[in-house]
Chains A and B, each alone.
Chain A
């Protein structure tokens, strides 16, 4: 038997560990939309419960009660398993009721962070109550030794792998064939659907949580005989388990299990390769395997996680636009911090400086996650990379002080861009998982690799500027005040820069990308460039923080920058508020070693449950305020101020009347031609060989029953849907161009679902659209003029979220128009308008066309379409069934046949009015 086969076989047990946890992750995600970082803690709970039942004891985790109750009878194996699974299921129910039910409409990130809180709390409680010594666990599966190809293999490990596969198959069958499973799948599609079908989504979710916790518990029981049972035993399995879950797209249990097994087996074989070939890095190679698999699956297939359709979906907290760069609060903070530097000493000054450093790291989260919406779990690792770079940059490359940390931070920025590259193809939580994997690889292959970094770490030379010693000092003089001042100055500069970024065009584009990548691209924003810049800037800031941390320590080692600590950095940043500079600055207070910790330690020190209390605070904060504490306070503050300053928003569109001058469009008129445009999704042909053209200065209507393919056609024209055939603009084929490139050529569009950026003001929403004109080298129309033409001036500074439906339509139009498009595609602009408003809107659209723009209009408002359009194209089942003037269409029997019901009545009515 070849060595490789032997090692693949030996890796089966590790694979089964990952597979079993991946299975639990998938079951949880499928039913609740939670990427549950606490899965390993639930598994651990199950195995502790099992181990104690076998010893005749009942595990009690409630603080204050005895840790174990003697039952006076050692449970037999099967009963112990059943009892432990029941306890795990009860835990699942508890977690659902207390935490995840209140969070079921929260953003996926909030749920994931809450699960980190659960992990912290459970691990803490188990450590305090059960101790850190391993608890012995009896064999669960038949153990023995099989000799395979001359190598001894423990039979229980093979049985373990088979059991995991069996459990996966049973679960698959459960979800596939039972009414419970069908109902769960229906609820996962849409919560509303579940309501309509008479099921209680609540009860379903509770059952699913119990089931998924039991699956995790079962994983724990199976793992326990292999892995010594201590409170942190399973915490490091989460990365390969996540990788395996991603292989199953968090949906498919059997692929996830196979993925987990494959990871363990390939890691084992990699171990053999590392042992056989000296040139392979001695550290980190096995960790590359889950990452490589994640990358292949996510980046190559570029499949986003299916997100759950809850009735309401909240977004991340809003990223408020700072009214003034320096406000009272900011001044007070600066003065307070400066006074602290002067007045505090000893451990209090240390804590203050750590607060500054972690504020910087949190600000990097504000840019990457708060502004650009990319969830990175690698920010602390990136900070560490700058710290590790700083030593050699100063020592070997000879960069002097102020330059060396900047160059190191630039290095971190470059690495950050690499870490962020997968985010160019994928979105949301998968980005988080990839960054977690990359962070782990950086940690193992670099920070912990003794080929590169010795046990003593990388020495950092003391900083000095113009002869002024800025080092942190040692002994009694640590931390030197000069060092604190340096960190403080850097922090202030960073804070101003991040605040400036928020109000800059790039900042608006980031928020546009965060809010909606599709509409950002339609507005001409290059999503790729924006994301890359966000990762670069965020990583640069993290890098600066890392160099400051490095200067503080004097030499950096891996243990200040571990992946697991990085998780807690995200959690702190998230609770305090990840979307604003204020939040970022205040998050430093909650950092490890920061002022908050110092206060707690000084006044409440020594409590066994200290960590647990912090974890509970995290969970409570998220459940109560998913948008973060600062976001919540700001919203309160903002509301009352707004009420005081302004009248209640007027949802009405500006009064009817003549359209005031819309400037003729600059540049040559463009003609849009469609030649045999066809869109196929799988076996379905959504648009079938459509050809027509739209001339500058005219309005062409596109109508058809629901599902006729109207929006798909617009998506194909603007590059959002892959199509065959040809789209020609001003004689030039656009085929193969990406959406923002088409926007640059002069295609502007709005979306049926009005994809506005709710966190941005109306003006900011519209400014983003100028990107298209600017990319062409044209001077874009003044935002103020466009707003005024569309009657939006009175609401220009309001958040888009505050507007009425009609006003939102107009903002979407304004955003398209400031890109100075030659062709404007409007997808149901009159949705949500009453008839007066609709007429008013029609006048504006006509004025836009008259300024030299070709307009393609989709709408169900037949009064608007028939009254406004020069030409009408009628689509049904993806094919053009009629085209002509409004009069011709009205009389066309094919159109009447396609439209049944209300619309037909309208057509008839329109006809009779004529």
Chain B
């Protein structure tokens, strides 16, 4: 019965995960010398309305997140590009891959996620020769945004004999990860902000799940601040990691973090924001969904706060029609929105070829499937098993990050971020919105100093 109307909390969870994921997906460790253009700003809004972005200078002090691979990244990226360019039919029977989505409800509409994943799978089969020389077949499932539904999905997919479970992004990521790990099946997602997922041996997070948390800390450090506020939606999946990790990461760069959790469904957030300002916050990072972030930004503006406001990309949704005044707001983003970037162009063409709808949930569905296929490029033509999947992914060479800025890569060698082995991408992009909600001045933030266990 009224599942959907009752799913406010679940939605919020889901969106939190989305944000951290989108924030994350930007592979950091490009060889900056070779790809200055990757730092070009992208409009925050729809890809389709994107205006030609100015070529902003990347202010890149980065970053050997994955030290051993830095040298070869550019070449690898180039070669994988070449491979993808030449069509190549897959042969043999298909290998079964699970794909999980939260689907749609009154609260959240991820209905574009699965079709986008299917489009990516078709692209992989038609142009990349499938995986391990065989076409991939996606077995799909929806969680209904409940832990029980997520549990059902893993069970169903396991029964179907899948060798990996992919997921764009889910509010039930923790359950999916835990259940898949227990079932001995690798779980690959685009993003998440969960310690449990980061440390699960069979889980892989393509984007930098910690970017949403760490990016603003880096900004604060850059601006020489001593105290920064974090406004986070009051659901455990968001609050728990933020409360635990924020003091550490902010502390790494000498900034005191002050976490304000605000219950979803709080109509006017000025009291909470005023309390945080009174405690001395010099900037605000907002972690929540679009609705939540809009309210938080309105409150910050109403109170005349002068410091920086940093949000993740999904926080602002379609910035051109956002209710809050977004000018000057800084956005942490995973995917590039610049249609001139090769990965963005590829995405657009694959999606239009397969008639799939482009929206944020499509981004993540497409990304995770293509990223996984790229991570599996080193798998021989032998039998594909969950174990061989995990081994192949860990042994992968750096690969281009789907929909990433030019040159951005990821590598799931469990070393990209030492404290969160599941994370595959090490860097994060940030840009500033202009008065029209268009992103300008994209730069890459070096998260290395921040993403350590103290002392950094």
* Chain A residues in 8 Å Cβ range of B236: 448, 450, 453-455, 457, 557-558
Question: B6 touching A567 by the CB < 8 A rule?
Answer: yes
Measured in the bound complex, the distance between the Cα atoms of B104 and A454 in whole Å is: 27
User: Is A350's CB under 8 angstroms from B183's CB?
Assistant: no
Q: 0/1 per residue, B105-139, Cβ < 8 Å to A?
A: 11111000000000000000000000000000000
Verify if B401 is at the interface (C-beta below 8 Å from A).
Answer: no
* Those of B1-15 within 8 Å (CB) of chain A: 1-11, 13
Residues 561-579 of A, flagged 1 when their CB comes within 8 A of B and 0 if not, give 0101101100110000000
B294 with A346: CB separation less than 8 A: no
Using CB atoms, name the residue of chain B closest to A351: B152
Contact assessment for A571 and B11 in the assembled complex, using a CB-CB cutoff below 8 Å: no
* Chain A residues near B304 (CB-CB < 8 A): 145, 152
Given A235-B8, A347-B156, A614-B1, decide whether A450 and B243 contact each other with a Cβ distance below 8 A: yes
> Is A233 a contact partner of B5 (Cβ separation < 8 A)?
no
Cβ A120 vs Cβ B2 within 8 A: yes
A474→B154 contact, CB < 8 A: yes
A14–B145 Cα distance when bound, in Å, is 29
Q: In the assembled complex, which residues on chain B have CB atoms less than 8 Å from the CB atom of A568?
A: 1-3, 6
Nearest-CB residue, chain B, relative to A230: B291
Q: Contact check: which of B148, B239, B271, B275 meets A354 at CB < 8 Å?
A: B148
Q: How far is the CB of A470 from the nearest CB of chain B, in Å?
A: 17
Contact, CB under 8 Å: A6 / B151? no
The answer for the CA separation of A236 and B8 in the assembled complex, in Å, is: 9
Question: Is the Cβ of B234 less than 8 Å from the Cβ of A136?
Answer: no
> What's the nearest-Cβ distance from chain A to residue B182, in Å?
4
Which residues from chain B contact A476 at a C-beta distance below 8 Å?
155, 158-159, 161, 183
A588 CB-CB contact with B under 8 Å: no
Chain B residue at minimal CB-CB distance from A459: B178
The yes or no answer to A659 lying at the interface (CB within 8 A) is no
Asked if A127 contacts B106 (CB within 8 A), the reply is: yes
Q: Is the CB of B179 within 8 A of A565?
A: no
Q: Are A590 and B5 in contact (CB under 8 A)?
A: no
Partner of A14, one of B151, B266, B323: B266
Q: Are A236 and B147 in contact (CB under 8 A)?
A: no
**B-chain residues with CB within 8 Å of residue A283 when the two chains form the complex:** 234, 239, 261
Binary per-residue interface labels of chain A (150-194) against chain B in the complex, 1 for a CB within 8 Å, 0 otherwise = 011110010000000000000000000000000000000000000
Asked if A196 is at the interface of the complex by the 8 Å CB criterion, the answer is no
**Are A271 and B275 in contact, with the CB atoms below 8 A?**
yes
Interface assignment of A903: CB less than 8 Å from any CB of chain B: no
- Per the bound structure, the CA–CA distance linking A267 and B266 in Å amounts to 10
> For the side of the interface on A, what is the size category?
35 or more
Q: 1/0 per position for B286-321, CB-CB distance to A under 8 A? A: 000011001100100011100000000000011001
A650 interfacial contact with B, CB 8 Å: no
Specify which chain B residues have a CB less than 8 angstroms from the CB of A157 in the assembled complex.
268
Instruction: Decide yes or no whether A524 CB sits under 8 A from chain B.
Output: no
Complex CA–CA separation, A233 to B148 (angstroms): 25
In whole angstroms, what is the CA distance A674 to B206 when docked? 85
A31 at the A/B interface (Cβ < 8 Å)?
no
Please measure, in the bound complex, the distance between the C-alpha atom of A13 and the C-alpha atom of B303, giving whole angstroms: 14
Option from A282, A453, A457, A560 in Cβ contact (under 8 Å) with B146: A560
Cβ of B237 within 8 Å of any chain A Cβ, yes or no, is yes
B residues near A134, Cβ cutoff 8 Å? 290-291, 294, 317, 323
When C-beta atoms are compared, the residue in chain B nearest to A272 turns out to be B275
Do the beta carbons of B2 and A233 come within 8 Å of each other?
no
Taking the closest CB of chain B, its distance from the CB of A227, in whole angstroms, is 5
- The chain B residue with its CB closest to the CB of A3 is B278
In the complex, residue of chain B having the shortest beta-carbon distance to the beta carbon of A137: B323
Q: Are B106 and A231 in contact (CB under 8 A)?
A: yes
Most A CB atoms within 10 A — which of B8, B154, B238? B8
Contact string against B for A residues 203-239, beta-carbon threshold 8 Å, 1 for contact and 0 otherwise:
0000000000000000000010111101111011100
Measured between beta carbons, the chain A residues less than 8 angstroms from B274 are 6-7, 10, 151, 272
Say whether B26 faces chain A, with CB atoms less than 8 Å apart: no
Does B354 sit within 8 A of A, measured CB to CB?
no
Residue contact B107 to A132, C-beta cutoff 8 Å: yes
Cα A134 to Cα B321 with chains together (Å) = 9
Assess whether B184 is interfacial by the CB under 8 Å rule: yes
B412 interface hit (Cβ, 8 Å)? no
A643 at the interface (CB under 8 A from B): no
B174 within 8 A of A: yes
Give A287 to B263 CA distance when docked, in angstroms. 9
Interface membership of B270, Cβ < 8 A: yes
B261 and A275 within 8 A (CB): no
Q: Please tell me if the beta carbons of B261 and A282 are within 8 angstroms of each other in the complex.
A: yes
B156 touches A564 (CB 8 A): no
Q: Which residues on B sit within 8 Å (CB–CB) of A455?
A: 174, 194-196, 236-241
Query: In whole angstroms, what is the CA distance A134 to B145 when docked?
Result: 20
CB <8 Å contact, B174 and A456: yes
User: Do A553 and B151 contact each other (CB < 8 Å), given the known contacts A13-B268, A475-B184?
Assistant: yes
Given A127-B106, A137-B323, A271-B271, CB of A119 within 8 Å of CB of B194: no
What sequence of 0s and 1s flags, for each residue 250-273 of chain B, a beta carbon within 8 Å of any chain A beta carbon?
000000000011011111101110
Residues of B contacting A145 in the complex (Cβ-Cβ under 8 angstroms): 302, 304
Interface membership of A286, Cβ < 8 A: yes
Contact B159 A346 (CB under 8 A): yes
Residues of B contacting A13 in the complex (Cβ-Cβ under 8 angstroms): 267-268, 270
B87 to chain A, nearest CB (A): 32
Output the least CB separation between B90 and chain A (Å): 26
Bound-state Cα–Cα, A151 to B234, Å: 25
Q: Can you list 23 A-B contacts (CB < 8 A)?
A: A10-B271, A13-B267, A14-B266, A132-B107, A136-B323, A231-B107, A237-B267, A272-B274, A275-B276, A283-B239, A444-B263, A455-B174, A455-B194, A456-B196, A552-B148, A564-B6, A564-B7, A567-B2, A567-B6, A591-B1, A592-B144, A611-B105, A615-B2
What is B's interface to A at a CB cutoff of 8 Å? 1-11, 13, 104-109, 144-149, 151-152, 154-156, 158-159, 161, 171, 174-175, 178-179, 182-185, 194-196, 234-241, 243, 260-261, 263-268, 270-272, 274-276, 278-279, 290-291, 294-295, 298, 302-304, 317-318, 321-323
Q: 4 additional contacts, CB 8 Å, given A7-B271, A127-B107, A272-B274? A: A120-B2, A153-B302, A226-B295, A593-B146
Counting from the closest, the 4 A-B pairs by CB-CB distance are A475-B183, A236-B265, A455-B240, A268-B271
